[in-house]
Amino acid sequence: MSLKEKIDEKKLPEHIAIIMDGNGRWAKGKGKLRIFGHHNGVTTVKTITEACAKVGVKYLTLYAFSTENWNRPAFEVKALMELLVDTMKKELPTLQKNNIRLSFIGNFNDLPEKCQKQLASTMEATSQNTRMNLVLALSYSAKWDLVQAIKNIAVDVKNGKVKEEEINDKLVNSYLSTHKMPHPELLIRTSGEKRISNFLLWEIAYSELYFTEKLWPDFTEEDLYQAILDYQQRERRFGKTSEQLSSKA
Ligand code: FPP
């Protein structure tokens, strides 16, 4: 029985989020420049996106460029932005063929104009696709998202649209850039690092975390299925006890 066949379709995570880490180390290990690692990382993006669609995952969020990544050497930032634009352009037919909708979370205004245009046109072109949502986190950080949400709530309290007593979990959630999607049940990080790096802090409150030593360019379809199977073994208690869950209390 293949790993894919072992997956229980009824217990599939609806949303998987991935911190794609290790491109630089992968390239260095081969005596190549970091950007070589990012290029190979794109091949893994394609493999994993198609595998998620195949297995029936509805949302896949990829941490492609963080707010903090702007502090990398200028040539690496430029190369990454060009890679993103080229990939979106080149992969549009595959997104259409696979009925995948592209969307975005992050600070759109901070992206270079070329990237903004390509992102906007790819999102528009795929907006009617229904099989899976591929969400790119670009110029994104969870703290950035929380700060913009807090500012907008403050504005709406001031202009009378929101009353202070109406501020609760649901309202805060509705101001985040992730408000249209379910929270990820499973968060994967590659490359052996065990941290969250300012990714989806609010949304992963109850996510299952899966860390693998594999560097992102080496992460395969089988590795994804292994992560899903690991997730399916876990007991998600959401603060309750095991006994409560088994008695459905
Ligand atoms: C982390 O590895 C990876 C990134 C910061 C960039 C990831 C981007 C891609 C794979 C391209 C994505 C393209 C699309 C279309 C989604 P790192 O550079 O931090 O590696 P290191 O930790 O080994 O230095």
Pocket residue to mutate for ligand 1, from 18, 19, 23, most atoms within 8 A of Cβ: 23
pLDDT along the chain (249 residues), means of 10: 95 98 98 97 98 98 97 96 97 97 97 98 98 98 98 98 98 98 98 98 97 98 98 87 79
Cβ proximity of 135 and 60 under 8 Å: yes
Q: Does the residue 82 lie in any domain?
A: yes
Tell me, what CATH number does 187's domain have? Answer: 3.40.1180.10
Q: How far does the centroid of ligand 1 lie from the alpha carbon of residue 216, in Å? A: 8
* pLDDT at site 49: 98
Per the listing, tokens 């379709």 go with 9
* pLDDT at site 248: 64
Q: Does the residue 100 lie in any domain?
A: yes
Task: Quote the domain boundaries for residue 192.
Answer: 13-141+183-248
Per the listing, tokens 């309750």 go with 240
Identity of residue 32: K
Q: How far does the centroid of ligand 1 lie from the alpha carbon of residue 41, in Å? A: 7
* pLDDT at site 193: 97
Q: Does the residue 46 lie in any domain?
A: yes
